[in-house]
Chains A and B, each alone.
Chain A
């Protein structure tokens, strides 16, 4: 930031009185958009690039290493279902990470909520709606507790959630019992990860998503252009719309193929868990980018003091981040329970948290706060699931699996830290 840049801008700047934003118009061309994107990359904001590259390279790698196994409808469906609890947990963590905080207990909170779900179903004999509600309320209350300790008492979130990481494991152990496993055979819960949408419904949903996305994007583009506001060039909008349609319809096509191993049975369709994740993705994206609550979330993460001076209730935002994170952890726990059809005392422990944090960070959410989106959880969660799935297919020894996954998180965190340094020096 030197006076040179400014004087240069002045010299070349528009001299028309009271019309100051010729730049907006430049940005509306394709060249301007490309330049803007390159500037962003150079400034250290890599966005979705690492995750997308990761999905492509890892996909190619495992396809080559395990031809005929990795890239089959059966494995891809497995992979997608495997990814859902990671994605949902990561989506919750995005809220916490946005504030520059961490929740080390998110994984085991999902475990506690799973245990509550199982106990309500099995011991109390209630139906799934009560059990699901109980699990999510448990998550919300836990989040309120964590958030209050961080936001009101002022204990660093790292310490609070490290303590709770141990504490909640004890609670799960108490609920499930040492060495015990509570099987969950409730049909609706089980169906989430183990049953598929009817083919016609799957296609209808896919078309709805593709067309809906196109309609919203094009409508917004038109409205902005009509009012002469900053907008992307139409080519780019169309490209995004087409890309979205190709991905959504492509995935639907793959999942609609019969993937049964024996010819006697039919196994095809989108697993129920996937539309659930898409729905959560839409809701979280909407909250973060279209509501003032979401805007305040970013503001607190970017500059808490500025947010406070702007009259934002910073404490409330902090508490809410943990409430949302833990509630989504509960949903993640429900998905995990569905996939395993049971709850064990170590539910949500082990590498659950590492996977979710890794997913968010690989997807582009910053550990330093202020940057993150719902889609980061989706893209990063897919990268993590591909790694877990691929290493499983390769039959890699357990120790190597740990080392590799830990390494991937470190790599993502390094990219994040370096990007931040770049952004700081770029100014």
Chain B
């Protein structure tokens, strides 16, 4: 018996972003068109004859009785040339196109595909007729910005022998290659955002994502393909840190998701990135960047989708063999979007009203990070760095806690530090990286065998300082034994010279590994000289008053710092000679 499927239904109820339809056949996560204005929505629950839909646009003015239509397709993104330098909303509508179509404000009911379907791109085949093109195989390339977008056989194709492959200028819909399986390949592929793209296998991350941020590269490094969280109260520096990472980290592609945050912050990225140069390639940073902006006042359902849109785009570039880093600012706003939708569904709330599946969703998301062997054999990676915005700055809340259980780097921002303008306000005592061991070899071989030991030394000094500070708070620093007064001074230098880094200074914003190492060595040198002088009986006041060491903080702002550093170090030697002679 043939059952006629009902692709059209009618609306029964509208409650903010959640609407109910009846008389309607649907599958979970089907994309539907809601109401007379054909607003985009997604099926999120099926309950008897009721189909519950989250709508990606404002539902003001929608009435019961209006039609609903099923597209029968899941929420998917368009992947192909044209992604780079774009800025999208949470469901991959290009904001530039939305502005052309409806002006400065985002109105409703406008469709805009993720890729430009008119534009022609130069397609260069890298395979030829007769070659075997398996799923994932790279059949050709498009030189997009300074980055090459590789055209791959979609992972869900069967694959086969190439019967025809073209060369020349094509739109993303033109067929550029045919296989003997009967499959036809164009430059665009679509992929459902909630399904991870397949890979051959995940590898252990053992190369650091070098960020140019001293406290990260130096003390708490993240690996390419790793995961990190930046939790912190408002105004403590999550966004500035994420933006620094997007600017300076040595990833090849950056996907930046502004998820439920400020409009002006995205504008800042849009105005700044085209002006800044990638320290590695010298090209504008924008050329390697894809932005997703679903700000706090844009629809919550689209906010919920934005992280999936972002990670799917990241996976696409990973499959080409690129090192991708993805910043999500802020995962808490994503979690809150889940909570808002869940409460409209009248689901049984878990902790603090979040849905019981919060922790599962978070781990599924971070699980899409990793260093992988792609289907085509290329090695690629996605490093995921999520900001977390705990209410009241209290890390014991559900989103922070669930995130902590998953990620391997924890960069804890601290309001006490940001209030005194110690930036980045990452607390060196609470933060950690679980990659230190797996990255140890890289640091030994590529930076210096002395790097790991000097890092451990710096951490010990900082640790010791925090113990000493407790005593100082009770009795004053003069009451400490002299060696410990030296320790306090060295720790102060580590904090002020090494850890503090000004994201807004053209030079200091990015610090090479070489410079980081030089700075640590210089501080170590002072420490060695100071302890020796103290042991030899020189007066502690003179040791602490050494002038040259105060100059160390200034080399941060000097691009060609070596001559100045050398002068400081030789002045330091001279000063200590004097101290010991006195």
A associates with B: no
Residues of B within 8 A of A (CB): none
